Amino acid sequence: EEETIILAFESSCDETSVALVKNGAEVLAQSTATQIKSHQRFGGVVPEVASRHHIEQIIGCLDDVFQASGLSYADLSAVAVTYGPGLVGALLVGLSAAKAVAFAHNLPLVPVNHMAGHIYAARYTAPLQFPALALLVSGGHTELVYLEKENDFKIIGETRDDACGEAFDKIGRVLGINYPAGKAVDELARRGKDTFHFPRAMEKEDNYDFSFSGLKSAFINTVHHADQVHEELSSADLAASFQQSVIDVLAQKTVRALHNYPVNQLILAGGVAANSGLRARLNEEIAAFPQVDLVKAPLQYCGDNAAMIGAAGYVAFKHATFGDLSLNADPSLEF
């Protein structure tokens, strides 16, 4: 059987990542340089700072993957790259590197949508089977995506305001947790209980949409009120209450979609897919759908990484989806 080896680049936000991926399902090498420390004192990602870091890091990451794998450019079948959505200056760094390699080594260039990348990270858990439903939860997106077949994405529901990861980061800040706060809030929540019963937005509405801004406000009001009356609240209970509200609405809308869309798989992907409470809850919910397999992206490929771009790039390569040297970054790219 023929081997397809793809060199993949990801630089849409605050991780510079390069990977070598075989047949879209095996990571031969990956090198990721995170710049989170540089953004923490600003409480979020500063676009100009992000672009500069990508420029400084990307060649080192590229050298790393060839060194670690022992492969050379002659072994490659194609170069895949994230071209959106994301920060335009950040995207352009990965795009320029990918184009340079493709041009110099006469390789096909495969444009990859970052969000498709998140979904195809699930290929590292199991081969995907369609039709499938994906719960895609990241720092910038919260969507239920129906995939009737491979490379066919239809958003059936999405957030009306904040993304779910964004809500984690904002309430984390109120708790004094550094950006990005999701992982620390998750750990804190494990030591607390849902004692505050924050609102579950749009729970009763007959759609697949989400809203997290009301929950965020309720959280902030609760903490500010306690400050004013000098009342000490349990951070663990606050975190657990917030997280339970998020998980309840994510699970509820996902289950509603599973009732109305007969699928073979439910895919959980995106940065927030690393949440331990969410993973456990979907494990429970899926028991009511014996015909549906739950495929969770592996923990190490939930957050931004180039391996997922290599997986999605492989699928796009098989569908002969190619770009040329005029390929541009698209900061608000949609499916």
Mask for 115-154, x = binds Zn ion (CB under 5 A): -----------------------x----------------
- Which residues are annotated as part of the binding site for substrate? 136-140, 169, 182, 186, 275
* CA–CA separation, 165 and 119 (whole Å): 16
* CA–CA separation, 113 and 140 (whole Å): 14
CA atoms within 13 A on the CB side of 142: 25
- Which residues are annotated as part of the binding site for Fe cation? 114, 118, 304
* CA–CA separation, 247 and 284 (whole Å): 12
Q: Is 17 in the site for Zn ion (CB under 5 A)?
A: no
Distances in Å between the Cα of 53 and the Cα atoms of 33, 36, 57, 188, 290 are: 9, 10, 6, 31, 46
- Smallest distance from the beta carbon of 179 to ligand KG4, in angstroms? 8
Q: CB nearer to Zn ion: give 145 or 218.
A: 145
- Smallest distance from the beta carbon of 207 to ligand KG4, in angstroms? 23
Residue 272 in contact with residue 182, Cβ under 8 Å? yes
- Smallest distance from the beta carbon of 262 to Zn ion, in angstroms? 28
Segment lying near Zn ion (by CB under 5 A), choices 222-230, 234-242, 297-305, 313-321: 297-305
Q: Is 305 in the site for Zn ion (CB under 5 A)?
A: no
272 binds, among Zn ion, ligand KG4, none (CB under 5 to 8 A by kind): ligand KG4
- Smallest distance from the beta carbon of 83 to Zn ion, in angstroms? 14
In single-letter form, the type of residue at position 8 comes to A
CA 234 to chain CA centroid, nearest Å: 30
What is the per-residue burial (b if ≥16 Cβ within 10 Å, else e) of 208-229?
Answer: bbbbbebbbebbeebbeeeeee
309 binds, among Zn ion, ligand KG4, none (CB under 5 to 8 A by kind): none
- Site residues (vs ligand KG4, CB under 6 A): 13, 138-140, 165-166, 168-169, 180-183, 186, 270-272, 274-275, 303-304
Q: CB nearer to ligand KG4: give 101 or 119.
A: 119
33 binds, among ligand KG4, Zn ion, none (CB under 5 to 8 A by kind): none
- Smallest distance from the beta carbon of 153 to ligand KG4, in angstroms? 16
128 binds, among ligand KG4, Zn ion, none (CB under 5 to 8 A by kind): none
- Smallest distance from the beta carbon of 212 to ligand KG4, in angstroms? 11
Residue 303: Cβ-neighbour burial (10 angstroms; 0-12, 13-18, 19+) = buried
Q: Is the dihedral angle over the CA atoms 300, 304, 309, 312 positive or is it negative?
A: positive
CA atoms within 13 A on the CB side of 256: 18
- Which residues are annotated as part of the binding site? 114, 118, 136-140, 169, 182, 186, 275, 304
Name the closest residue to ligand KG4 (Cβ). 271
Helix (H, G, I), strand (E, B) or coil at 134: strand
CA 62 to chain CA centroid, nearest Å: 22
Q: Is 10 in the site for Zn ion (CB under 5 A)?
A: no
Binding site for Zn ion (CB under 5 A): 138, 304
